[in-house]
Amino acid sequence: MAPSTSGAFSRRALLGSAGAGLVAGAAGTYASEPAAAARSAGLGAGQVDFHGPHQAGILTPQQARIQLAAFDLLPGLAPAAGRAGLQALLKRWTATIARLTAGEPADRNENQIALDAGPCSLTVTVGFGASLFERTGMQAARPAALAPLPEFPADALDPARSDGDLWLQVCADDALVAFHALRVLQQQAVGTAAPRWQSAGFSRTPGATAQPRTGRNLMGQIDGTNNPKPADADFAARIFSTGPGWLAGGSYLVFRRITMLLDDWENLPTDRQERVIGRRKSDGAPLSGGTETTPVDLARSNPDGTLAIPADAHIRVAAPAANSGAAMLRRGYSYADGVRADGSPDAGLLFLAFQADPARGFVPVQRKLSRGDGLSKFLRHEASGLYAVPPGVPAGGTGYLGQALLEG
């Protein structure tokens, strides 16, 4: 990465040499326990390579903080002007993201918010909403899989906090670093695209537990045990798209802002909460027995003849075996935005799931959950989005995000 032409010190250099060069969770891998331990020992120095076949922020080990945002191209632009503006913006964003993830200052709109921080495992992931293709005259290039998600029972979606032409996922192990990156990119979009919605979330900070563990959500449940793993033989087929050509090696991202009705949930005794989920709250083990990683035995019965995993338990209804093998790579974050007018917490889950085809991943699973999941009465889906996430940018060239779409 070229040094800043302004002569400013790099954010990474200001850390000194003690942690320089530490790489945590390079795109395309999950962190091993030693890597996770190293990352927690020097969070500021953690660096994720921007370049690669897939965008960082998909396979990257989950960071502690997230900033999500969607943008709309400015109204009134003719399709050709919209497309030209989009191309220029994506070139700017690509160059800026590469600098920021390497711990360097932005070359435009740098605001010094994170000047004394390292890269902190920063990643920025970019996606395209269905509306982008019409606004830029590229309807023929819009993938069929980017069709609007169907309506689900009990959805209470706010259009102002849903969808959007462009989508950004900004993750880092430091809140200031994540906000800084989003603010810079937002400023660079002025004159081309305007913010539509924005949301911030958090996860467990690396090193907060004695050893790496699956995170918990705001219901206190271990969440993410059954995520597909890159070592799975069919992982790539489930997560990455094979076409159209400009999207090969990319993915689809489903976003849902899900409010948790925590007052109602916390009034349940622990054993009832466990039956709703199908797992022990203490260690995440399925009620059919074993440890957190023990395969769920959906056929097992209790001594009294009742199902060990209740018929409406979340893990039974959502199980791939119960949904024709449907699977997604979930990468959700918790959020807490104060209290609502009735005094209840405005808190829950920023659900994020990458998949090769939403029609074979999210849609059938959510249909089934909305009809028979015991957890549904404690959740409210309030915002939604579906985005095509283009492949990554190879190193050593002048490529940019979305190049195959815009120049194909």
Chain-centroid distance of CA 114 in Å reads: 22
**248-265 confidence digits (pLDDT tens):** 999 999 999 999 999 999
* Cα–Cα distance, 42 to 121 (Å, whole number): 10
Question: Mean pLDDT across the stretch 353-373?
Answer: 96
Q: What's the mean pLDDT when you consider all of the chain?
A: 90
Residue 177 — very low, low, confident or very high, per pLDDT cuts 50/70/90?
very high
pLDDT for the residue numbered 3 = 37
Residue 260, Cβ density class (10 Å: 0-12 exposed, 13-18 middle, ≥19 buried):
buried
Q: Tens of pLDDT along 97-125?
A: 999 999 999 999 999 999 999 999 999 99
What local confidence, expressed as pLDDT, does residue 152 receive?
96
For the segment 362-383, the average pLDDT, to the nearest whole number, is 96
277-302 CB burial, b ≥16 within 10 A, e <16: bbbbbeebbbbbeeeeeeebebeeee
pLDDT for position 327: 87
Mean of pLDDT values over 2-8: 37
Q: Which of 49, 72, 163, 223 is catalytic?
A: 223
HSE (CB half, 13 Å, CA atoms) of 262?
Answer: 21
Domain boundaries 23-141+148-205, corresponding CATH code = 3.30.70.1030
- Over residues 67-95, the pLDDT tens digits come to 999 999 999 989 999 999 999 999 999 99
- Mapped onto helix, strand or coil, the DSSP state of residue 41 is helix
User: CATH 3.30.70.1030: which residues of the chain?
Assistant: 23-141+148-205
**Mean pLDDT, range 343-350, rounded to an integer:** 98
Express each pLDDT in 201-258 by its tens digit. Answer: 999 998 898 888 899 999 999 998 889 999 999 999 999 999 999 999 999 999 999 9
Q: Write a three-state SS string for 228-264.
A: CCCCCCCHHHHHCCCCCHHHCCCEEEEEEEEEECHHH
Q: How far apart are CA 71 and CA 164, in angstroms?
A: 6
pLDDT score for 266:
98
**Alpha carbon distances (Å) from 359 to 4, 265, 323, 327, 362:** 44, 31, 12, 11, 7
DSSP 8-state secondary structure symbol assigned to residue 63: -
Strand ranges (E), 116-274: 123-129, 166-172, 193-202, 251-260
Alpha-carbon span 368 to 349, nearest angstrom = 19
Cα 32 to Cα 4, 25, 68, 148, 393, distances in angstroms: 33, 8, 27, 37, 25
- Active-site residue flag, 49: no
What is the value of pTM for the model shown? 0.90
In the numeric block, which tokens belong to residue 349?
Answer: 């889950």
User: Which among 86, 85, 105 is positioned nearest to 96, based on CA atoms?
Assistant: 105
Q: What is the pLDDT of residue 39?
A: 54
SS3 275: helix
pLDDT tens by residue, 269-280: 999 999 999 999
Q: If you count them, how many residues does the chain have?
A: 408
Q: What is the pLDDT of residue 383?
A: 98
Nearest-CA neighbor of 12 among 138, 353, 4? 4
Task: Give pLDDT, residue 284.
Answer: 96
Give dist(CA 157, CA 381) in Å, integer. Answer: 6
* Predicted local distance difference test score (pLDDT) of residue 157: 98
* pLDDT at site 379: 98
Q: Three-state SS for 377?
A: helix
